[in-house]
Amino acid sequence: MATARKLPSGSWRCQVYSHMEQIVQPAGSIKKKRIYKSFPCDIPGPKGKRQCERMAAEWAAEKETISKSAMTVKEAVRGYIEAKEGVLSPSSILNYESVEKNYIPLIGQIRLDSLTQQDVPKWVRQNSRDKSPKTVRNAHGVLVAAVGMFYPSLHLNTPLPQKNRPDLYIPTDQDIRRLLDHVQGRDLENAIYLAVFGPMRRGEICALESSDITGNTVKVNKSMVLGPDKVWKVKQPKTYASYREITYPDFVIERLKGIDGRLVRCTPNQLTSRFQRAIKSSGLPHFRFHDLRHYSASFMHAAGIPDSYIMERGGWQTDNVMKTVYRHTLSDHQKEMTQKINAEFNSLCNTTCNTQKKEACN
């Protein structure tokens, strides 16, 4: 129980913890501040102290017994995020807090016991005006998870915007050769080798150290992520499947020899910036660093490598993401396969039966 303190004026004051607020600092970082509720009492002496402490105790007891359904949507989302801190990766928490800040305010003041099936679709439509379907779906996912945690009797069934088919440019074999020639001898070359012939993610590459390499085998056991405090940190991989060992070709390992410590000395965002400058200066079509991972998966698929081996090498937990996003047909190989298909069709049409029919028609 909170203890009352005597003030210089002779009155009493008792403070009880209420909640936590986030204060945005001038530099853009976020500082958490504990908020207390005060209970003053002007009666002097022990009687005033007892009355002050009684008011504080009654309020605290009432606070504990308030039904979770009386929470607002904003409070539920904040509670959900706090419950997931230390469980989810810092980058996931950062994304959740972005949803809380940018999307929840439109619906945040509604109490959970007043939230209806009509409120959420309206909120989705409001966000869909200037946000991508993927962004709206992610924000809706956070909302549903928070409501499910604190008010599970409400089952939200919301029509969501149709997913956009990703219009991705997958670099060709010629693009990769041209890119590697352009960055030869630079630190960026190491990162591209690890992504193309791995495939490794940005965060995994930036966290990789020379001690993680034994022979031709690279052990992936950490990743560099941006936390809620906007500081880059090296943490364990996001999923269990991300822990893996990749055996690289000799020429990749030879390129990495002689480096002590981190193999790529930059953050993931810095890596993206350097990569985009290299793409622009080399005259290549625009594509992202992450598309090197697409290229690698597509190349292995085109080469006939079974999906299970591609999943293991790339650190995919299920084949769903790999098949729907990463396994694109390379334009180089697509032309080759098209010619092969048409050649088979031509062979089919040149059967003896078809030849006799053509002669009969003539």
Q: What is the C-alpha to C-alpha distance for residues 183 and 2, in angstroms, rounded to an integer?
A: 64
For residue 70, the model assigns a pLDDT of 75
Both tokens of 289, joined, read 């660093």
DSSP string across 282-314: HTPPP--TTHHHHHHHHHHHHTT--HHHHHHHH
Please provide the distance, in angstroms rounded to a whole number, between the alpha carbons at the two ends of the chain.
105
Q: Which residues contact 119 (CB under 8 A, 6 or more apart)?
A: 107, 110
For residue 35, the model assigns a pLDDT of 82
Tell if the pTM clears 0.75, that is, is over it: no
For residue 63, the model assigns a pLDDT of 67
Q: What is the C-alpha to C-alpha distance for residues 180 and 162, in angstroms, rounded to an integer?
A: 38
Length of the chain: 362
For residue 266, the model assigns a pLDDT of 93
For residue 64, the model assigns a pLDDT of 58
CA distances from residue 10 to 5, 13, 80 in whole angstroms, order as listed: 10, 10, 42
pLDDT averaged per 10 residues in sequence order, the chain, 362 residues: 85 85 69 84 89 87 62 92 84 91 93 89 92 92 92 86 78 92 91 93 94 94 88 86 91 91 93 95 93 88 84 84 61 66 72 49 46
For residue 321, the model assigns a pLDDT of 66
CA dihedral 272, 275, 276, 279 (to 10 degrees): -160
Q: What is the C-alpha to C-alpha distance for residues 228 and 22, in angstroms, rounded to an integer?
A: 11
Could you give the domains of the chain? 5-66 (no CATH), 73-150 (1.10.150), 173-329 (1.10.443.10)
For residue 125, the model assigns a pLDDT of 93
- CA 179 to chain centroid: 27
Residues paired with residue 223 on neighbouring β-strands, in sequence order? 235
